[in-house]
Amino acid sequence: MDRAEKSELVTSLQQVFQNTQVVVVCHYAGLTVAQMSALRRQMRQAGASVKVAKNRIAKIALEGTDVASISSLLKGPTLIAYSGDPVAAPKIAIEFAKTNEQLVILGGAMGTTALDPNGVKALASLPSLDELRAKIVGLVQAPATKIAQVVNAPAAKVARVFGAYAAKDAA
């Protein structure tokens, strides 16, 4: 890799570190190509990405970013999982680590906050952004539905009373 390629890689990694919500650092020694492909596929489906870069280049790219606190984790064969959704990358990494013990979660960062492995697990247990949006929409719609039921209830009661009187007169 020549200087131009290295500087281009540093620039792309800096953009990743500046534009993502969460970064998770893992050791991947012992993962097969098929397992790594499966991890990349799962991350892509969840809206996250995985990057394997040399630690020296990643440390250079980390300088001056909010997630610079993870530079101490970059030792040995590491991969970086990141996503715009604060829950997507940690959730997939934790799920994948449960079935593949070769993937060891070292920690990560969310904004300026450094996360240890337990912090990543706690973040993974939160509902995703889409799930939270669905809950909020449900909460907003619930009062409107109840208002419609309350407004329609007196009219329905009056209609039942008239129906009962009509049935009584017919008998």
- Helices 117-124, 88-99: axis angle to 10 degrees equals 110
- As a whole number of angstroms, the distance between CA 72 and CA 68 comes to 9
Q: What are phi and psi of 32, to 5 degrees?
A: -80, 170
pLDDT digits (tens, 9 = 90+) for 64-97: 888 888 888 899 899 999 988 888 889 999 999 9
Q: Is the pLDDT of residue 53 over 90?
A: no
pLDDT digits (tens, 9 = 90+) for 2-40: 888 888 888 888 888 888 889 999 999 889 999 999 999
More confident residue, 44 or 157: 44
Record the pTM: 0.72
The rounded percent of the chain whose pLDDT value lies above 70 is 90
The rounded percent of the chain whose pLDDT value lies above 90 is 25
Residue 140's pLDDT is 75
Residue 148's pLDDT is 67
Residue 105's pLDDT is 92
Structure-block tokens of residue 104: 């060891």
- As a whole number of angstroms, the distance between CA 50 and CA 39 comes to 8
> What average pLDDT does the structure give for the chain?
85
Q: How confident is the model at residue 144 (pLDDT cuts 50, 70, 90)?
A: low
Distance between start and end Cα atoms, the chain:
96
- DSSP for 94-141? HHHHHH-TT-EEEEEEETTEEE-HHHHHHHHTSPPHHHHHHHHHHHHH
Q: Is the pLDDT of residue 127 over 90?
A: no
